Chain A
């Protein structure tokens, strides 16, 4: 009877998870969707605590308290510009927890001597440990890159793919050993279960590091999405290991979410996942500087730009990672307010891979109180540019690089924002240095492109002041 009640509560919780996810799909309902998911989690946790025949409450309650306080503090204190780092850390924690649950389940089986008859169960345990640990260490490498603790450029070493491949094969073998394959062999029988387990965890930890280190900073939207997916899959594997359908269901939902975001990010760069994972793309930097001295750019001043903006009828701002780095979102919004007051139509065009995680720019601008109906995505923005007086590119580069339309460039075929179709383009940038792809940007040399060499935040603040004085 109690078991039935528990399962019914789990089903209710599953419904709430799916419903919550559905409501997360529209800005009007998203907040309640998140609350629904949270209540689903609370219901599931309460059910488990009541029905779980808990014998040692002390450790459990202390661990719950520590986790809650730490989680709440992190959520409250993090800056919006650091959101990709935080999501990476949370992903890593989720994956790590799933790996630990799978490991504990193995030790329990091992101690009871019951593992012999469950090869399928042991495979799911091995998968949980493998995927969970890769998520944990991979996320922390991603965190290091996003936080600037590790180099943002791709870190490569000789035979990198071969070594990672061998490591992966080794892990599959260890997983098979854990599942009881080859138990009749003498050297296998001599190994303790926990020894295989420890090797598996250690190898998976190395693999997570080896997979993320070679990926460059601007490809982080793909990495973060993929790790998000892994954290779900690890939870699902842990669900198989402990025989809990709710873990399987919720884990699969998250796995699907991460996978879709990964696909959207890859498609927005016209690159395959394999190319992102193994291409060591970007950061070469050598191709760009060659002809700096020869080709002239048109420099402009904040005074000139302010006039241009103030007397335009339509302005589109194209933000990129540089906006986040400079923390220029609030100044940008102030400028927007002044222009709107003057009757200028202002919108923002956001490329799917702008920033360091999917939707990064949208959150930053939302924080600065820019209404979301002023934000255009790629498909909405491109038809607008030919009707736009001034485009202001701030801290973006590769996503507006016309080279993407040519056949033989490294970013060929990447869908870009066609800002060069606008009547005037102002690019706010600190210098002519190339973007992440290491490519020169022909946009900067066009006749109707003006370069405003400045820090993004200073430039926006100056522009706002100039526009205000124009009255």
Chain B
């Protein structure tokens, strides 16, 4: 139970921090913000590699392997495409 409560603390506080940080993001950055945040949600990759790395049955291994592939696409693709977008943003004076 203690671990669950601690988890709820982390969840609640992180949500508040997220709300405070993201409220200030200007509309011009909404797409990169979304795809960057999206890449962060690939954090589930940690769970996926633990599942595969310590799997004891074929079922769990394949489930985990699928999770690793999906999460890696999410992480790698998400960060790269966000960077590709952000590289394009320029001020008038920088052209």
Task: Evaluate contact between B17 and A253: CB separation under 8 angstroms.
Answer: yes
Stretch at the interface among A28-36, A400-408, A416-424: A28-36
Q: Which residue of the partner chain B has the closest CB to A44?
A: B46
Task: Report B61-86 residues with CB < 8 Å from chain A CB.
Answer: 61, 63-86
A231 part of interface (Cβ distance < 8 Å) = yes
Q: Taking chain A's interface residues, is the majority helix, strand, or loop, or is none over half, making it mixed? A: helix
Smallest CB–CB gap between B15 and chain A, Å? 5
Could you say which of A108, A359, A374 contacts B34, with CB atoms under 8 Å apart? Answer: A359
In the complex the two chains form, is B44's CB within 8 Å of A53's CB? Answer: no
Chain B residues numbered 5-52 whose CB sits less than 8 Å from any CB in chain A: 6-7, 10-12, 14-19, 21-52
A25-B25, A52-B54 as given contacts; A245 in contact with B76, CB under 8 Å? no
Cβ contact within 8 Å between B29 and A256:
no
Cβ contact of A367, chosen from B48, B65, B88, cutoff 8 A? B88
Stretch at the interface among A90-98, A142-150, A444-452: A90-98
Q: Are A90 and B18 in contact (CB under 8 A)?
A: no
- Asked if residues B53 and A53 are in contact (CB atoms below 8 Å), the reply is yes
A357-B31 Cα distance, complex, nearest whole Å: 7
For the complex, is A243 an interface residue (Cβ under 8 Å from B)? yes
Check B36–A240 contact: CB distance below 8 A.
no
Contacts of B80 in A (CB 8 A): 71-72, 75-76
Shortest CB distance A10–B (Å)? 9
Interface string of A118-138 (1 = CB under 8 A from B): 001100100000000000000
Complex CA gap A22/B18 in Å reads: 9
Q: Any chain B CB within 8 A of the CB of A312?
A: no
B27 engages A256 (CB within 8 Å): no
Evaluate contact between B81 and A56: CB separation under 8 angstroms. Answer: no
Q: Which of B12, B17, B31 touches A362 (beta carbons < 8 Å)? A: B31
Q: How many residue pairs bridge A and B at CB < 8 Å?
A: 389
A381-B75 Cα distance, complex, nearest whole Å: 36
Per the 8 Å Cβ criterion, residues 250-281 of A in contact with B are 250-261, 264
Say yes or no: A251-B43 contact (C-beta < 8 A), given A60-B53, A67-B73: yes
Q: Is A59 an interface residue (CB 8 A)?
A: yes
Task: Let me know if A358 is at the binding interface, CB within 8 A.
Answer: yes
Task: Kindly state the separation between the CA atoms of A48 and B51 in the bound complex, as whole angstroms.
Answer: 11
**Contact, CB under 8 Å: B95 / A371:** yes
B52 surroundings in chain A (CB, below 8 A): 56, 59-60, 63
With A71-B80, A90-B74, A91-B38 in contact, is A257–B51 under 8 Å at CB?
no
Does A344 belong to the interface (CB within 8 Å)?
no
> Are the CB atoms of B90 and A228 closer together than 8 Å?
no
A320 to chain B, nearest CB (A): 15
Contact residues in B for A83 (Cβ distance below 8 Å) = 31, 35, 81, 85
Q: Which residues of B contact A199 (CB under 8 A)?
A: none
**A363 in the interface, Cβ–Cβ < 8 Å?**
yes
In the complex, chain A residues whose CB is within 8 Å of the CB of B28: 27, 350, 359, 362, 372, 375, 377
Instruction: Indicate whether A87 reaches chain B with its CB closer than 8 angstroms.
Output: yes
* B residues near A242, Cβ cutoff 8 Å: 47, 50
Contact with B along A31-63 (1 / 0, CB 8 A): 101110110010011001100111111011011
Question: In the bound complex, what is the Cα–Cα distance between A104 and B48 (angstroms)?
Answer: 9
User: B21, B86, B88, B89: which contacts A21 (Cβ < 8 A)?
Assistant: B21
Q: How far is the CA of A352 from the CA of B25 in the complex (A)?
A: 13
Hey, which bits of chain B sit against chain A, CB under 8 A?
A: 1, 3-4, 6-7, 10-12, 14-19, 21-57, 59-61, 63-95
The 8 closest A-B CB pairs, nearest first, are: A67-B72, A256-B18, A359-B30, A71-B77, A71-B76, A54-B53, A358-B30, A252-B14
Q: Give 14 A-B pairs besides A83-B81, A231-B41, A362-B28 with Cβ atoms closer than 8 angstroms.
A: A24-B29, A41-B39, A66-B69, A66-B72, A70-B69, A93-B42, A94-B42, A94-B71, A97-B70, A97-B71, A104-B60, A111-B56, A256-B16, A258-B37
21 A-B residue pairings within 8 Å (CB atoms): A53-B54, A54-B54, A59-B65, A63-B72, A64-B72, A71-B80, A90-B78, A94-B41, A96-B67, A101-B47, A104-B60, A111-B60, A232-B40, A238-B47, A240-B4, A243-B7, A247-B47, A252-B18, A254-B40, A256-B18, A362-B29
